[in-house]
A and B are shown apart, each in its own frame.
Chain A
Amino acid sequence: MTIGTINAVEHSELSLKNVSVSFPIYHGGSRSLKKSLLFRSSGGQLASDASQRITVEALRNVSLGFRTGDRVALIGNNGAGKTTLLRVMAGIYEPVSGEVRSRGRISPMFDISLGIDGDISGYDNIRLRGLILGLSAKEIEERMEDITAFTELGDYLDIPVRTYSSGMMTRLTFAVATCFEPEILLMDEWIVAGDAGFLVKAQHRIENFVEKAGILVLASHSTEICKRWCNKAVWMERGEVKLTGDIDMVLDSYNAVAAA
């Protein structure tokens, strides 16, 4: 199994400087146009209502810097801001204040089935998925053989994917998601699942894939997976960086707090 042509990753870079992100909560009332208009026309009577918009501070003053070779585990409780941080790194949320700088193609692997269209064939889904990932039509065709070989779906690739079993679907999405050279790889939880035979193959492929990444940032609750893949860790708590450094050191303090 070969993975496409190899573009050597020279120097990927990802840095965050004093990044803060807050989400306004648009509950039914404040989100409607009526409220906003009433607020304007009623001359301040509802002002407190409108300006007291509740915001959730998802990230506060986060500063981090990663270079090629960094394998970073993001740890922290639910709601600590791990997913938001990954999305800020991916450029999905632009920070409310602060600065995010990146060099190298960012590959967010949050939902590997994104863009799968049940009514088109396996081949067409591979092409569509490839385009979404930022590959050119030519690059996709170059990788087609590798992808089809990995999925072992054969003639099934000619029929609409809505007829696939979930296992077949996993093979397809997984093969496309891991068909290129990642530079900055962002993962929200480890993504391997499938039948036993596939699992071994998938494990091998993802290892290959992750090893080629210039930078890996992985949010995971599994100590085992973090230890296996990462050399650094960032411990998030309530939207702030609590501790950052060597993986073992951070995990030990994290587990000590969790046990206490």
Chain B
Amino acid sequence: MTTILNDQPGKGTHSQFVTRGGSGFAVRAALADFGTGVSLWPLWIRLGWNDILQRYRRSMLGPFWLTASMAIMVIALGVLYAELFNTPIHDFLPYLCVGLLVWNLISSFLIEGGTLFTGAESYIKQIRLPYSVYVFRSSWSKLAIFAHNFVIYFGVLIYFQIWPGAVALLAIPGLLLVLINGAATTLLIGMISARFRDVPQLISSLVQIVFFITPIMWKPELLRTRTYIAEFNPFYHLVEVVRGPLLGSVPSSQTYLAVLLLTLINLIVVGTFFARFRSRISYWV
């Protein structure tokens, strides 16, 4: 358990901290970790950006390779599935496109959460930084990748001559909710994966299954009577809260309620877990 008094690494000459042993819930230390983490934004913005650049260094398209491969996937799957499901392509392809964009963001939080702390071992073992810095770093770089991919959405709008109208602005709070849930989940997965090393494998296989049972490549209407498959799937609501507005419809109140409830549960569970096990992370990695 840790008590932190005015602990701001790098701020002033009188940064001060107290770490105390014992197991218990260190809520204040967890909050302080979060607060200091936010204040270190120049660090995590830079680290996150370098993470993206590193992958595409010296390639001509750079991070737009992500966009290119995503565009190819959207077109290929869009044409194929519109044919398979016998739906008009101008209706299906935009739906698939936005669904995939959002799903890509959500799944990257789940899959890459496994290496959140284990991948930063060299930092964690050498210097005391708030653990939330690693969460912000990865969340921000995922948002940046999403922004790159988002160009495809505009391409689709222009090609099919769709205009969602002002409703599209509702996607912004929706995206914020997705990010909050993503960041919380990635923190939880990062902590569990640092302790139990087979969790990342487990998650990546689960994510595959979730992708197929969530209405992304198919529309929920196809379920006819068994709509509960979508309604009880939190991922459906998470996708819908962004997809709906971008396609010009306001998500149902049921969707908003589900997402808000999910966010609340997520924050409570992850917050509790973080307060209890934060100080063990450096021992686990």
Q: Does A132 lie within 8 Å of B19, measured CB to CB?
A: no
Tell me if A32 and B46 are in contact (CB < 8 A).
no
The A-B contact count (CB < 8 A) is 119
Contacts of A32 in B (CB 8 A): 196-198
Q: Which residues of B contact A183 (CB under 8 A)?
A: 13
Query: A24, A94, A95, A97: which has the most chain B beta carbons within 10 Å?
Result: A94
A73 at the B interface (CB under 8 A): no
Judge whether B19 and A100 touch: CB under 8 Å: yes
- Any B CB within 8 A of the CB of A9: yes
A117 in complex: contacting residue of B9, B50, B129, B195, CB < 8 Å:
B50
* Chain A: minimal CB distance from B263 (Å): 27
Q: Is the CB of B282 within 8 A of A95?
A: no
Chain A residues, Cβ within 8 Å of B254: none
- Distance in angstroms between the alpha carbons of A100 and B284 in the assembled complex: 20
Interface centre among A102, A105, A183 (most CB of B within 10 A): A105
Q: A44-52, A85-93, A163-171, A215-223: which lies at the B interface?
A: A85-93
Given contacts A94-B279, A119-B57, A134-B10, contact A114 B122 (CB under 8 A): yes
Contact between A91 and B17, CB atoms less than 8 A apart: yes
Question: Across the interface, do B127 and A90 meet the contact criterion of CB distance under 8 Å?
Answer: yes
A119→B279 contact, CB < 8 A: no
CA distance A94 to B123 in the complex (A): 16
CB-nearest residue of chain B to A83: B125
B126 CB-CB contact with A under 8 Å: yes
Interface size class of A (residues with CB under 8 A): 35 or more
**B253 contacts chain A at the CB level, 8 A cutoff:** no
- A128 contact set on B, CB distance < 8 A: 46-47, 50
- A108 at interface, CB cutoff 8 A: yes
Q: Do A91 and B54 touch (CB < 8 A)?
A: no
Q: Is the CB of A104 within 8 A of B126?
A: no
Q: Which listed residue, B9, B54, B199, touches A134 by the CB 8 Å rule? A: B9
Query: Chain A residues in contact with chain B, CB under 8 A?
Result: 7, 9-10, 19-20, 23-24, 26, 31-34, 36, 87-88, 90-106, 108, 110-111, 114-115, 117, 119-120, 127-128, 131-137, 183
Q: Given A10-B13, A33-B198, A134-B9, 12 other A-B contacts at CB below 8 A?
A: A7-B13, A26-B195, A26-B284, A90-B127, A92-B125, A95-B19, A106-B15, A117-B54, A132-B129, A133-B10, A133-B127, A183-B13
Q: List 8 A-B contacts (CB under 8 A).
A: A33-B202, A91-B17, A93-B283, A94-B20, A105-B10, A108-B128, A128-B47, A132-B43
